[in-house]
Amino acid sequence: MKKETVFQARLARHYDELKWLYCELYQNDRAAFDRLCGMLEEKAERRPADLARLDERRLADPDWYKGNSLTGMMMYADLFAKNLRGVQEKLDYVEECGVNCLHLMPLLDMPRVRNDGGYAVSDFTKVRADLGTMEDLEHLTAECRRRGISVCLDFVMNHTSDEHEWALRARNGEREYQERYFFYEDSGIPQQFEQTCPQVFPTTAPGNFTWLPDAKRYVMTTFYPYQWDLNYRNPAVFHDMTGFLLDLANRGIEIVRLDAVPYIWKELGTTCRNLPQVHTIVRMLRMICEIVCPGVLLLGEVVMEPDKVTPYFGTIEKPECHMLYNVTTMATLWHTVAVRDVFLLERQMERLSRLPSEYTFLNYLRCHDDIGWGLEYAALQERGMEEIPHKKYLNDYFTGVYPGSDARGELYNDDPSLGDARLCGTTASLCGLEAAAGRGDRAAVQRAIRCDQMLHGFIFTLSGIPMLYSGDEIGQLNDSRYRDDPRLAADSRYVHRGPFCWEAAARRREQGTAQQALFDWIGRLENIRRENPVFAAGARICPRGTQDSSVLCLVRERGNRRLIAWFHFSPEPVTVLAGEEGAFIDLLAPEEGTIRETVTLPGYGMRWLVPEEREERKG
What is the tens place of the pLDDT at every residue in 529-558?
999 999 999 999 999 999 899 999 999 999
Of 142, 133, 572, 541, whose CA–CA distance to 353 is shortest? 541
Residue 12 CB-density burial (10 A; 0-12 exposed, 13-18 middle, 19+ buried): exposed
Q: What is the CA radius of gyration of the chain?
A: 25
Of 162, 158, 161, 180, whose CA–CA distance to 108 is shortest? 161
The per-residue pLDDT for 520 is: 98
Indicate the pTM of the whole model.
0.95
The per-residue pLDDT for 2 is: 59
The per-residue pLDDT for 5 is: 85
The per-residue pLDDT for 203 is: 80
In angstroms, the CA 344 to CA 338 distance is: 12
Which one of the listed residues 116, 301, 346, 406 is annotated catalytic? 301
Residue 52 CB-density burial (10 A; 0-12 exposed, 13-18 middle, 19+ buried): middle
Cross-strand partners of 360: 323
The per-residue pLDDT for 10 is: 97
Which one of the listed residues 78, 254, 259, 346 is annotated catalytic? 259
What is the tens place of the pLDDT at every residue in 414-465?
877 667 899 999 999 999 999 999 999 999 999 999 999 999 999 999 999 9
Task: Please say if 259 is a catalytic residue.
Answer: yes
Query: Same topology for domains 326-537 and 538-618, yes or no?
Result: no
What is the tens place of the pLDDT at every residue in 209-261?
999 999 999 999 999 999 999 999 999 999 999 999 999 999 999 999 999 99
In the chain, what are the domain boundaries? 1-36, 326-537, 538-618
Task: Please say if 301 is a catalytic residue.
Answer: yes
Q: Which CATH number fits domain 326-537: 3.20.20.10, 3.40.50.1970, 3.30.565.10, 3.20.20.80?
A: 3.20.20.80
Lowest mean pLDDT among 132-146, 189-203, 439-453: 189-203
C-beta separation of 285 from 245 below 8 A:
yes
Which residue intervals of 101-133 are DSSP H helices? none
The per-residue pLDDT for 618 is: 42
The amino acid at residue 116 is: D
The amino acid at residue 502 is: W
Q: Within a 10 A sphere around the Cβ of 481, how many other Cβ atoms?
A: 12
Treating both helix axes as pointing N-terminal to C-terminal, what angle do 276-292 and 30-45 enclose, rounded to 10 degrees? 40
DSSP 527-594: HHHHH-GGGSTT-EEEEE--SSTTEEEEEEEETTEEEEEEEE-SSS-EEEE-SS-SEEEETT-GGG--
Lowest mean pLDDT among 150-159, 164-173, 181-190, 415-424: 415-424
Treating both helix axes as pointing N-terminal to C-terminal, what angle do 327-339 and 442-461 enclose, rounded to 10 degrees? 150
The topology under which CATH files domain 538-618 is: Immunoglobulin-like (2.60.40)
